Structure 1
């Protein structure tokens, strides 16, 4: 007896409907970005802080554990923000006041290129669009005015989400489909573990990058060596874009400070070597394949979510990809996507599982 197979017309219609659904979904995500960005960031923070709250609930009531978790999150964020503001404010005034020296250095470079038969613009004004710069500064100023309200919304989401975790887990346990309930809990635990590992590796690599930037700046005699190290540490949390900014600014300042362009070029090369080595060799070696995500998916996620949500998308791109691939791993019909865009995680030792496994919530009120 011949098996029933879908006709080519029906298969083509299914593909077309799926593509239309994906396009409509992407349009909706982009259109609702102002609402979804704080919500997505709050989910990420909840996933990272969930283990801390669960461990605190072993020794104290859940409300006190919630309060301490929120307080720790606020303190860390405030300290990080003050560190970034201190680093940028220290170098900004000197950098802007001596920016005219960049014009002089640029004219010397164009003169040298002209002597070699290479035509280049003779003024930085021919390279940079001043109107675009003014509009960019206006956009940054406008975003700065909404920063406080944005983070207040995120904090409200985090507080409500952490408070509802135990109740949500109880609701999941009462589902009539035990297999679905177990899958949901397993996805939540795995995603939280991977987010924690992602942030741990990011912090370690950022600290290493900041230290090496400070060391190179000190050796070459660049002013504000500590500040450049702090800026590199902070910007390294933003994949690709942060690394580029952290390299270009100290190199440009080196053009202003040093009399010889060779020293500034050496600084630029050293800083790029640091970023390239850490980003392409050290960080993948440290994190291994625990995150189960391919390098292609990492790059695609960063650029795609940057296009969708701007700077917040740059930061959240990899966590979103990690979460989606974790869901695919636990869904039989989508497991092929996890195998295609992920990597098989290494076997965890009992000690690693004891550290990363989330404890059961305490019933204390």
Structure 2
């Protein structure tokens, strides 16, 4: 008699006892198609990153214009309700933003140029004030000599001679062509955003896909616009508070230092740290005692702590709360790829990725079991 596959007999079992089905106990098998798909996705990501890095002069101003234009689109919609043509509204918005940026650059650049011209004098003053480290350095060199290490170092504090001005300017300053491409793309993007939205939505033939795309675009526009508005208000407050603290503690150029703090605060994590370092250096050079020099930096630490842990989470809310590790890794990646402008784009791009993920992988989708 022929035995069916599902009725195979156990070796020591009576006749007619079927073997239990054990397919659920088999270990998972990685199929070749999955490996190939993963490898292709990894190669695609590597190629995209390489293209973005090699063609930075083109992609950085264009993507910057897309992100900033999406942030400013609600303002264009508001002006359009008052019967202002969208093209004129785009020009007015870009001119206003450029005027504000020029004002901030003027507040920062004036003291910066003055201090750059006085670098030898300030270096000499800083060297004189750092003599308090002579004794610890001497003790350190004696300890090195006792344990057999080299003690040929100088016993006095020396400021390293580093050619940093020109490389820093080249790193921070985009070219004129990039500026021109950014502003032209920004104006055209804001002016034609409605047509671009419609074209992108109509690209999909399925009604559900069109509706999902419309919701994603609307949510990105709303959240990026709110992000820009709230972050600008918060950073302006941080700059004003820093300027007041610098004026009270007799720091030089309090207006420029406040504008610098507000500008750097747009860059998460790195910006506040850079502001603290700058305040310490300026205080040590300009003020007579170390205690007076540290008053403004320590007050800024308190301002940054309140802003980062209470003000910003309360105003922005918890819905788009960003994971600290994700923010740090995104900041490191985009700063490595595109410099300071990439650092500015890191949080908006992370918000866009979070919104897209929420719509493409909703909460109702199958999830991992809880621990």
TM-score, normalising length: structure 2: 0.78
- Which residues of 2 match residues 266-285 of structure 1 at below 5 A? 266-285=295-314
The aligned residue for residue 260 of structure 1 is 289
Whole-Å separation in 1 of the counterparts to 2:354 and 2:61: 22
Partner of 1:22: 45
Q: Which moved more, 1:228-237 or 1:109-118?
A: 109-118
Give 3-state SS (helix, strand or coil) of 2:81's partner: coil
Tell me the CA shift for residue 165 of structure 1.
Answer: 2.5
- The Cα of 1:38 is off from its aligned counterpart by 0.7
Tell me the residue number matched to 1:114.
137
1:69 equivalent in alignment to 2:90: yes
Do the aligned partners of 2:241 and 2:258 also contact (CA within 8 Å) in 1? yes
1:177 is matched with which residue?
206
Q: Which runs of 5+ in 2 are unaligned?
A: 1-5, 7-22, 143-152
Displacement after TM superposition at 1:291 (Å): 2.4
Distance in 1 between residues matched to 2:169 and 2:87, nearest whole Å: 34
Specify every segment of 5 or more residues in structure 1 that has no aligned partner in the other structure, as ranges: 341-365
Higher relative contact order (CA 8 A, sep 6+): 1
Shift of 1:152: 1.4
Question: 1:348 aligns to what?
Answer: none
Q: How large is the Cα RMSD of the aligned pairs?
A: 3.1
**Offset at residue 5 of structure 1 (A):** 10
8 Å contact 2:242–2:258 — kept in the other structure?
yes
- For 2:17, the equivalent position in structure 1 comes to none
Q: Which residue, out of 179, 194, 198, partners 1:166?
A: 194
1:101 counterpart = 2:125:
yes
Match of 1:80 among 101, 117, 139: 101
Distance 1:16 1:263 in 2: 58
Q: Secondary structure at the match of 1:233?
A: helix
Whole-angstrom CA distance in 1 between matches of 2:334 and 2:365 = 23
Query: Whole-Å Cα distance in 2 between the matches of residues 139 and 251 of structure 1?
Result: 19
2:177 matched to 1:149?
Answer: yes
Question: Partners of 1:142 and 1:236 in 2: how far apart?
Answer: 19
Aligned: 1:47 with 2:70: yes
Partners of 1:12 and 1:234 in 2: how far apart?
A: 45
**Which whole-Å CA distance do the structure 1 matches of 2:241 and 2:82 have between them?**
40
Greater shift, 205-214 or 282-291, is seen at: 282-291
CA contact 2:76–2:93 (8 Å) conserved in 1: no
How far the C-alpha of 1:58 sits from its partner, in A, is 2.8
- Deviation string, structure 1 residues 143-190 (Cα, Å, up to 9, x no partner): 64x543212111221232233323234434544211111111111111
- Taking structure 1 as the reference length, the TM-score comes to 0.79
Which residue pairs with 1:324 in the alignment?
353
How far did residue 215 of structure 1 move? 2.4
* Count of residue pairs brought into register by the alignment: 330
Give 1:6 deviation, angstroms: 7.8
1:307 equivalent in structure 2? 336
Residue in 2 that maps onto 1:357: none
Kindly indicate whether residue 230 of structure 2 is the aligned counterpart of residue 201 of structure 1: yes
Aligned to 1:130: 162
* Contact 1:194-1:290 within 8 A present in 2 as well: no
Question: What is the Cα deviation at residue 77 of structure 1?
Answer: 2.0
The answer to whether the 8 A contact 2:242-2:261 is kept is yes
3-state secondary structure, aligned to 2:267: coil
Helix, strand or coil: the match of 2:251? coil
Structure 1's 112 and 258: CA in aligned 2 closer, same or farther, altered over 3 A?
farther
**How far, CA to CA, are the matches of 2:77 and 2:210 in structure 1?**
19
Distance 1:161 1:88, change over 3 A: closer
Are the structure 2 counterparts of residues 272 and 192 from structure 1 closer, same or farther at C-alpha, using a change threshold of 3 Å? same
Between the aligned partners of 1:20 and 1:333, the Cα distance in structure 2 is 27
C-alpha distance in 1 between matches for 2:62 and 2:337:
15
Q: Which has the higher helix share?
A: 1
Aligned to 1:355: none
The more displaced of 237-246 and 37-46 is: 237-246
Instruction: Give the Å deviation of 1:101.
Output: 0.8
SS in 2 for 1:200: helix
